[in-house]
A and B are shown apart, each in its own frame.
Chain A
Amino acid sequence: MASDTSLVAKLDAVVADILADWNIYTTLIAGAILAFLVFSFVTSKEPEIHPFLLARQSTAFPVRQPGESSAYRSLETPHGFPLRSGLNVKDPGAPKWTSGRRGDLRDIWKAAVRGAAEEGKLPGKQGKIYTVLGRKAIEHSLEQVTQEINVIGSRLQTANAKVVAICLTDSIELLATIFAGAFYGFKTILVPHNLDPKDLSALLQKAQADVLIAEAGALDLSLVAKSNGQLSQVIWVAKIGSRHMDWNDVPSDVKGSLDVSVWHEVVEEKKDLTGLDVPSWDASTPTPSVTTVWPSASQGFDFVEYQPENLVSAIAGLTYSLPRNQRIGPSDLVLSIDSLSRSYPLCQIMAALYSNASVAVNSVAGEGVDFALATVGVSPTVVIASSRTMSAYHDKFMEPHSGFITAIARWFDVRKLDAGVMPSHGMFSQVANIGPTAELSLDKLRLLCVSHRVDADSQYRLTCAQLTDLRIFTGARVVYALTGPGVAGAVSQTNVFDYRRYAGPSHVGAPLSSVELVMTGVSEDKENEGQITVSGPAVVSGKTTLAAEGRIRDDNTLELC
């Protein structure tokens, strides 16, 4: 008992002794602790997505074939259910409980023109289409484009065109021709615009194109016509600056065989004859295919012919790969700085049109462009770019221009990203990021969609550090997708909330809900590493094996080897 009291008394004395030293510094430190606790409590946020959802991002089928990995699917479309095959278009007047149609490109244009309708209120707010020319952006109303679709479509329909080759930079005319093909029943082939005339000529011959739509003055007509007897009509698209010239003049050797006209003149001439309304159609008739050109390994070119069901499946897959609050909507302006003749940007732009977003196309768009120059004309909220563009911009501009202050701000922002929260693009981070983003004018950017071609040079594969930098410097979330020949849209895409970091190249996410992934040719000790094989409604002819090795990581995301 006595010893107990003495112990307590001793303890009391020690505490009293320690507290006796309380002075101004002690108060300061205690204040700092309190302030720190309050600060971290106030600023702490829940991660934007539950960490378990990032720890296992796709589902594996529990049985696998020998020599193959399990089949992997998006969490949206579990095994045993059909993959996402269409836009689920609900026609007005159809009973509420019926499932929608798959839809096709015509439904996309119809939805874009109808506008974002609030329940039952028509017409809704329409998106706009901009063409970016350098620092200028020209606005087009959708009615105007519908008119062009109708004029060009009916002209080509009366000329009985079957295959129309489009050799244009990204432009309103390119989009209009694709939709005209869907409405007026001709196949469209998107040919890259910067081809050598000989290659172009060979491609036209291979495709048996009977109509060519190309930029006025961009190619030598006699050379193309010489080896393309089937070609019967050429429509020049003249740039605004060169419309005063007479493009109807034809070289004498092709005068009899080729019908040459100029886009803006045809539209001007016929616009009173065709209406401003979207043509009506029978939903049971299929639309013709859209073909893109995929550069093949041997410097040649392969055609990839996307059936309408491939495209709508991919468009739906891309749309739903983003969670509801990140999805592209009517308030967005989507700019593609990657060429629309590639299927990922094309499907993303179509998805944006279907969601009634405004869309901007850029005449310089391509796989390797200057990110700053290409985004200068408008202030987009969503940018679609290639991995080559982004990695080049990161390495050549962002990295060398980040200084000491940037590094400090980056350190804090990385902590936030690691906690699963997107850092706010506040005053401090803007000042700190002035160096790396000096050239950019992307104040409203919220989402950056980057696609990587499966057969692109591996130096363009983005690393986790690069993706983190892009998030911090631009203040936008990033999705990173893998594309392959024969797969419309993308094979896989990272989760928009996946901010996890590790050394080396980033993974490319979980398969879209429109495809299923299997690694083939696997060895028994490494059952998750092999040739990437993709199947599903978004894949041309149902199934394809890509010319690349991939690995399924422990979090069930795909990684290139």
Chain B
Amino acid sequence: MSTAETGAVPPPEVMTIASPINLILLSLFIILIYTQFRPKAPVTLPKSPAPIVFRTFTPTTLLPFNGTEDKPVYLAVRGRVFDVSPGRNFYGPGGPYENFAGRDASRGLACQSFDEEMLTKDLKGPLDELKDLDGEQLENLQSWEERFSEKYLVVGKLVAESDPEAVKA
């Protein structure tokens, strides 16, 4: 009897939570919550380039560092080897100072001359002692050296082939 009665009444529209719109909204909600609380990896910066290892050069081992084949440009001033790669336009191949690349530039800088004659010819021989320079030339050299120390990194030292330290190079 009762079943007949209820059957007579039109069934009330069932309110369902599982309707498509609810499901869409619910999944949106879940995605929102997830993005808010998901574990975030801490920020990392790209690794900085590996540091250059300080080394001892002889005139022969310094020679390859003249900027050709994408190699760095080094030059030596009074026994200190500077990495002048940031100034490749000046010191690298094709630059006004290209003769100095990979060489001992002390005499050339002191005399304000970029000529070949300023370089030590004999790579196996002793380093240029610069004994014959006058006061003005030494002052010149000093100011160049200070400028280099400010701008460029000292990446090594230059010793003569006969120096006991040259074995390490």
Binding site for B on A (CB under 8 A): 18-19, 21-26, 29-30, 32-33, 36-37, 40, 51-52, 54-56, 60-66, 69-70, 415, 418-419, 500, 527, 554-555
Instruction: Write 26 A-B pairs (CB below 8 A) sorted by A numbering.
Output: A18-B24, A21-B20, A21-B21, A22-B21, A23-B16, A25-B16, A32-B29, A33-B28, A36-B32, A52-B45, A55-B42, A55-B43, A55-B44, A55-B45, A61-B51, A63-B54, A64-B51, A64-B52, A64-B53, A65-B53, A65-B54, A66-B54, A66-B55, A418-B40, A527-B50, A554-B47
Contact with A along B1-22 (1 / 0, CB 8 A): 0000000000000011101111
| B63 CB contacts on chain A under 8 angstroms | none
> What is the minimal beta-carbon distance from B58 to any residue of chain A, in angstroms?
16
Residue interface bits B126-169, CB-to-A below 8 A is 1, else 0: 00000000000000000000000000011100000000000000
User: Is A63 a contact of B155 with CB atoms below 8 Å?
Assistant: yes
Are B51 and A60 in contact, CB atoms less than 8 angstroms apart? Answer: yes
Q: Which residues of B contact A22 (CB under 8 A)?
A: 21
- B51 and A29 contacting across the interface, CB-CB below 8 Å: no
Find out whether the CB atom of B52 lies under 8 angstroms from the CB atom of A18. no
Is the CB–CB distance between A62 and B52 below 8 Å? yes
Q: Which of B15, B37, B42 sits near A24, CB closer than 8 Å?
A: B15
B32 touching A18, Cβ below 8 Å: no
Closest approach, in angstroms, between the C-beta of B77 and any C-beta of chain A? Answer: 16
Distance in angstroms from A287 CB to nearest chain B CB is: 36
Query: How many angstroms between the C-alpha atoms of A37 and B50 in the bound complex?
Result: 45
Interface residues of B, CB < 8 Å — how many? 34
**A97 to B86 Cα, complex, angstroms:** 35
Extra contacts besides A26-B19, A36-B33, A62-B52 (14): CB < 8 Å: A21-B20, A23-B22, A29-B22, A37-B32, A40-B36, A51-B43, A55-B43, A63-B54, A64-B51, A66-B55, A70-B51, A415-B37, A418-B39, A555-B44
Q: Is the CB of B17 within 8 A of A25?
A: yes
Chain A neighbourhood of B29, CB < 8 A: 29, 32-33, 36
CB proximity of B157 to chain A, nearest CB, Å: 11
Cα of A256 to Cα of B136 in the assembled complex, Å: 75
Q: Of all chain A residues, which has the CB nearest B15?
A: A23
- Nearest CB of A to B68, in Å: 22
CB-based contact A26/B43 at 8 Å:
no
Please name all residues of chain A whose beta carbon is closer than 8 Å to the beta carbon of B49 when the two chains form the complex: 62
A339 to chain B, nearest CB (A): 35
Do A33 and B52 touch across chains, with their CB atoms under 8 A apart? no
**7 nearest CB pairs, A to B:** A21-B19, A51-B43, A64-B51, A55-B45, A70-B51, A29-B25, A25-B17
Shortest CB distance B88–A (Å): 17
For residue A29, which residue of chain B has the nearest CB?
B25
> Which A residues are CB-close (under 8 A) to B40?
418-419
Q: Closest chain B residue to A418 by CB distance? A: B40
B51 touches A62 (CB 8 A): yes
**Chain B positions within 8 Å of A23 at CB level:** 15-16, 19, 22
Q: Chain A contacts of B153 at CB under 8 A? A: 62-63
Q: Given the known A-B contacts A51-B42, A418-B40, are A29 and B50 also in contact in the complex, defined by CB atoms under 8 Å?
A: no
Min C-beta distance of A62 to chain B, whole Å? 5
Do A52 and B155 have beta carbons less than 8 Å apart?
no
Residue numbers in B under 8 Å from A32 (CB-CB): 29
Q: How long is the Cα–Cα vector from A419 to B43 in the complex, in angstroms?
A: 11
